[in-house]
């Protein structure tokens, strides 16, 4: 994560937050929205736009950890096939999404944004579905926020996280 001083720091929180792939909480209203097909969901078609939207300031988030250097590094990881985006579109406009890094059976979710109500939640739903279909075992969210907790994220000890990470690295899963 980038700090105000411009330096990039490595974080390994303890406890660590994950979203169990069988534990996503989908409300009835969110499921109705998903089934309505109001949003179109795409994968990896607008990665730079997604990360820039995640980096943009907004109400309640005037500062971001996503510096220009972070953006550049993740776009490079995307070009190499490691970083991925899930995008929510409405009438040809990008209205929500998320990005992260997929490595073997691990997907490390980095950030999400929403320009319309529940657009990022729709992207998360489709991310979890894709990870399950492709036999991923671990969705790392690093930190537990109230928003992620409502969606089913939990905190686990660093020791438990490292055991799950070890198992995930033994899985030959591919995001695409």
Does the bond joining 171 to the residue before it have cis omega, within 30 degrees of 0? no
- Specify the CATH number for the domain of residue 30: 3.40.630.70
Domain that holds residue 51: 16-169
Q: What's the number of domains the chain is made of?
A: 1
Confidence of residue 18 (pLDDT cuts 50, 70, 90): very high
103 inside domain: yes
150 Cβ contact list (under 8 Å, min separation 6):
25
175 inside domain: no
Q: What is the pLDDT of residue 66?
A: 85
Query: Which segment of 36-50, 53-67, 124-138, 143-157 scores lowest on mean pLDDT?
Result: 53-67
9 inside domain: no
124 inside domain: yes
35 inside domain: yes
Averaged pLDDT for residues 122-143: 97
4 inside domain: no
- Does 61 have pLDDT greater than 60? no
- Does 153 have pLDDT greater than 80? yes
Q: Which helix (H) or strand (E) holds 83?
A: strand 83-90
Tokens of 56: 């943009």
115 inside domain: yes
Tell me which DSSP letter residue 104 carries. Answer: T
Q: Which of 97, 101, 92 is nearest to 73 (CA)?
A: 101
Q: Which residue has the tokens 């995307």?
A: 78
- Does 140 have pLDDT greater than 90? yes
Q: Per residue in 66-101, pLDDT tens?
A: 888 999 999 999 999 999 999 999 999 999 999 999
Confidence of residue 10 (pLDDT cuts 50, 70, 90): confident
105 and 170 Cβ atoms separated by less than 8 Å: yes
10 inside domain: no
């Amino acid at each position: 994560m980038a700090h105000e001083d411009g330096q990039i720091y490595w974080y390994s929180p303890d406890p660590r937050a994950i979203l169990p792939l069988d534990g996503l909480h989908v409300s009835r209203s969110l499921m109705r929205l998903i089934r309505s097909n109001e949003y179109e969901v795409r994968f990896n078609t607008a990665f730079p736009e997604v990360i820039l939207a995640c980096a943009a300031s907004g109400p309640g988030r005037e500062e971001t950890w996503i510096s220009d250097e972070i953006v550049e590094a993740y776009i490079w990881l995307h070009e190499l096939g490691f970083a991925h985006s899930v995008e929510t579109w409405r009438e040809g406009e990008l209205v929500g999404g998320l990005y992260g890094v997929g490595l073997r059976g691990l997907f490390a979710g980095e950030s999400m944004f929403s320009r319309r109500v529940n657009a990022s939640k729709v992207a998360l739903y489709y991310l979890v579905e894709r990870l399950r279909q492709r036999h991923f075992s671990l969705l790392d969210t690093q930190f537990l926020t109230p928003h992620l907790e409502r969606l089913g994220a939990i905190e686990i000890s660093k020791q438990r996280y490292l055991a799950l990470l070890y198992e995930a690295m033994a899985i030959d899963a591919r995001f695409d």
